[in-house]
Chain A
C-alpha cells in the first residue's frame, strides 16, 4: 500500500507537521506513480500525442508562411514587370493592347495588392479554425470580403470532420483523460481495502490527504504541460514573435487543468469503490467533452441555422446585373449621388473621358450592394456566436477551446476581422480609383509605388 502516511508519527500536534506529511505523501505518490505502468504509459502517450500535435500545428504554420512568401514573391515580380512598362514608355503587355498602366484602374490592377492574414507563430498550439478560411486575397475594385477564393485551403473533408490532432486537441480531450487515469483509484482503493479510517487518524483530514495526493498529479501534469509549451514555443519561435501568447497559453491551460482537477476532486472525495470513481469521472468527461458541446452545436444549428448565403448571392449576381441593365442616365445619376465631389472634377467637363470615368466608378455601386447584403449575414453570425458564448456557462470545454483559438489567432473573430480589413482595403481602392480617375490622374512610377504603399494598409 503506497500513498498513505506510513510514518509512525502523528504530526497533528507538531510544528511543520502538515508540511512534512505533505512531503511524505508526495514522495510516496511518486513511487506509486512510477510503479503503475498504466499511469506511466498514459502519460507517455499524452506526451507523444501532444508533441505530434505541436508538430502538426507547426507544419500548418510553416505551410501558410511559405504560401505567403510565395505570393509575395509573385506580387513583387508582377510589380517589377509593370514598372518596366513605365520605363519602356509602354502602356502594357503587347498581347493586351487595351491595357494602359497610366490609367488608375490598370495601375491598381498591376499593383497586385494582396492582403494576408499572416498566421501567428502560436498557431502550432491550436490550429483552431485556420483550416476553414483562406488567408490571402488579391484586393481589386470588384473583390468582396466574401469571395469564393476566401474559402478554406484544399483539404480532405473527412480529415476536417475528424479534426486535426493539434496540441489544443490533446489539451482539451486527452489531458482530462490522463488526469482521470492518474486519479481514478485515489481514495477509492483505500476505501475498498478499508484503510480510510487509519488515514484519517494519521492525517487529520481525509480531504486534505486526498488533495495532497492529487496535488502531486496536478503538479506533474503542469510540469509536463509547461515542458510541452516550451518545446512548442521553440518550434516556431513563439518567444520571439508572440511571447505574450505563450503566457496566455500557459495561463489558460493551467486553468483548464485546475478545472478538471477541481471537478474530479468533487467526484472522488466520497467515493467508495474504484468502479464508481471510474464511472463518475468517465461520465463527467463524456458530459463535458461530448454531450454538452454536441448538444449546443445541434441546438445552435436548429435555432440559428447556417444559411445558403442567398442575400450575398442576390447581391453579387442578380442585383449587379440589374445595375448593368439600367439606362446610362440612371446609372450615372447614382454614381454622382454616391460621389458628389466628381461634379466639380476636371473630367466632368470632358464628355469623351467622362464615359470612361463613369465605367471605372461603377464598382463602387457593386461594392455598396455587396456590403448591404453582408449586414444580415454578419448579424446572423453575431447571433449564432452569442448563443454559443452564452452556452459557455455550462459548456466549459467549448469555452476553453475558443480561448485557445483566440490566443493563437485562429478564432472565428480573427477571420471576421480579416474580412473587415479586406473590406476596408476594397473601399479604399475604390475611393482612390474614383477620385484619381475623375481628377484625370496620369499614373507615373512614383504614383504606382504610392498605390502599393497606400492601398496595402487597412
Chain B
C-alpha cells in the first residue's frame, strides 16, 4: 500500500499546477501563523499595559474608606486564549473589559467587533480559517479524479489483472490525499510551535494534540468521501460538483441555519427583561446603603444580640461593613440565579448545536477547534465565572476591613491607606486546564470518529461492488 501512496505522491508532484498551488497555500498558511502570532503579541502588550495601568491606579489610591474603594473598584481585561493565534473563536465578538465593583456583577463590554465597521463574516485570516474552509477544498480538488481517472483510462482493470487488490488501491488513494492534508496541518502546527515556543507548556501541547486529532479526522472524512464519490461517479465532474455541493452545505449553509435554530429553541431573555427580573429579586434583599431598610434592622438586631450590646455605637466592630457584606451576599445569590440561568440556556444551545454534528461533521470540527484552542464560549464563560469569584473575594476583603478594621459604625470618614490597597490581591488568570473541560468536547470527537467510521464502511462497501470500467 505504501508503494501506491508513494506513487500517488510522485504523480502529484509531477503536476506543476498542483505544486504551484501547494507552495502558494503553504506560504499563506505560514503567513497566517506569523500574522496570528504578531497579533497575539500586540494584544498581549496592550493587555499587560492596561492591566498594569489599572493596578497602579489601585495601589496608588489616596487613603479612602474601604467601601468607597469598593465603589472605585477595578477592571479586569480578558487575556488572549491559549491557541488564539490559531483559532480566534468567539474572542472577536465578546467584550474585553469587565468592571469589578461593589453591589453589582457587571457584564463584559467593548468587543473588538463593536469598534469597527463590518469586514469579514468569517473572521480574520487565522490558520483555522484556512484549515477549516480552504484546505478541505484543496483535498477535494486533489481527490475527485483519483479513482475515476484510473477507471476511465483502463488502468484500474490492468492493475487488478496484474494482481493488485482493488480495496488496497482505493485505500491508498484515500491515504495519499489524507496525508497531504495532514502534512499541511503539521506544517502549520510546527510553525505555530516554533513561533510560540516560549509559551507552550504541557497543557498547551495537549491542546495542540487534540486540535491536530480533530482536524485529522475531518480531513479523513473529506478525503474518504471524495474518493468514494470518485469511485461511484460516472465521471469526475459529478464527483467534483457533488463534493462542492456538500462543502457548501456543510460549511456555509448548515452552520448558520442550525445555530440560528438552536438560538430560537432555547431563547435568551432580552437585556431589559433580564435586568428587570434581577432588579425585582435584588429589591427583596437587604439594601446596604439604606439603614432604615427592614432587613437591615433585622441584621442589626441579630448583631446586637450576638455581641450582647444595646446600641450599634457600643459594638466593637463597624456595623456598616457587616451590612454591606450582607447586601453583597444577598446580591450574589441573585446574580447566581440569573446569570446561572443564562449560562444554562447557553449550555443547552451548545449541546444541541454539538448534536448537529450528526448531520454535519464540520460543526463538530468547528466546536472542537475553538474548544481545544481555548477560544469557545465555554472558556469565555469560565473566564467570567472566575472574574466574578475574584470580585466577591475583592469586595469581601474591603467590607471585612470596613467591619473589622478598627472603625466604628457611622464613621464614614475612616480611611485605609495604600499599604492596605497594595495587600489586596490582583486578578490572576490561570488558563483553563484541558482536563477540566475536555468532557465538553467528547461529543464532537465521537461524532468525528463516527463520521470517519461511516466513510470507511462506505468505502469498503463501494469498493466491493465497484465496476472496473
Contacts and interface: CB of A to CB of B under 8 A. Distances in A.
Interface stretch (A235-243, A272-280, A445-453): A272-280
Nearest to B292: A95
A405 B113 CA distance: 15
B124 interface: yes
A275 B137 contact: no
Contact of B119 (A136, A398, A413): A398
B334 to A, nearest CB: 16
A227 interface: no
Contact of B46 (A151, A173, A308): A308
A34 interface: no
A154 B119 contact: no
A308 to B, nearest CB: 4
Interface stretch (A82-90, A201-209, A292-300, A431-439): A292-300
**Residue picked from A155, A157, A325, most chain B C-beta under 10 Å:** A157
B268 A156 contact: yes
Interface string B107-151: 101111111111111111110010001100100010000000000
A175 to B, nearest CB: 12
Given A148-B106, A159-B263, A297 B114 contact: no
Contacts of B11: none
A294 B133 CA distance: 12
Interface in B82-121: 89-90, 92-97, 99, 106-107, 109-121
Interface in A170-214: 172-174, 177, 181, 184
Nearest to B129: A294
Contacts of A381: 115-116
A293 B123 CA distance: 8
B116 A388 contact: yes
Contact of B124 (A298, A308, A411): A298
B244 interface: yes
Interface string B253-277: 1011101100100001111101000
Contacts of A165: 256-257, 260
Classify the secondary structure of A's interface with B.
helix
Contacts of B106: 148
Interface in A287-331: 289-291, 293-302, 305-310, 313-314, 317-318, 321, 325
Interface stretch (A1-9, A15-23, A126-134, A256-264): A126-134
A159 B258 CA distance: 10
Contact of B116 (A67, A314, A318, A385): A385
Interface string B26-47: 0010001001101100110011
A148 B119 contact: no
B376 A310 contact: no
A402 B271 contact: no
Given A161-B123, A306-B112, A153 B259 contact: no
B116 A384 contact: yes
A120 interface: no
Given A71-B272, A157-B377, A297-B124, A384 B115 contact: yes
A309 B271 contact: no
Contact of A153 (B90, B109, B119, B270): B270
A289 B260 CA distance: 21
Given A177-B252, A401-B121, A275 B236 contact: yes
Given A157-B377, A160-B90, A302 B119 contact: no
A282 interface: yes
13 contacts: A71-B272, A148-B109, A174-B253, A290-B122, A290-B133, A297-B123, A297-B124, A298-B39, A302-B39, A308-B96, A317-B72, A412-B116, A413-B117
Given A133-B114, A293-B121, A325-B62, 14 more contacts: A129-B114, A155-B268, A161-B89, A165-B260, A169-B256, A290-B120, A298-B126, A306-B96, A307-B115, A308-B77, A308-B97, A313-B97, A401-B121, A411-B117
Interface of B: 28, 32, 35-36, 38-39, 42-43, 46-47, 49-50, 53-54, 57, 62, 72-73, 75, 77, 89-90, 92-97, 99, 106-107, 109-126, 129, 133-134, 137, 141, 236-237, 240-241, 244-245, 248, 252-253, 255-257, 259-260, 263, 268-272, 274, 342, 346, 349-350, 353, 366, 370, 376-377, 380
Which 7 residue pairs of A and B lie closest in terms of their CB atoms, listed nearest first?
A293-B120, A165-B256, A412-B117, A157-B90, A294-B125, A308-B50, A306-B112
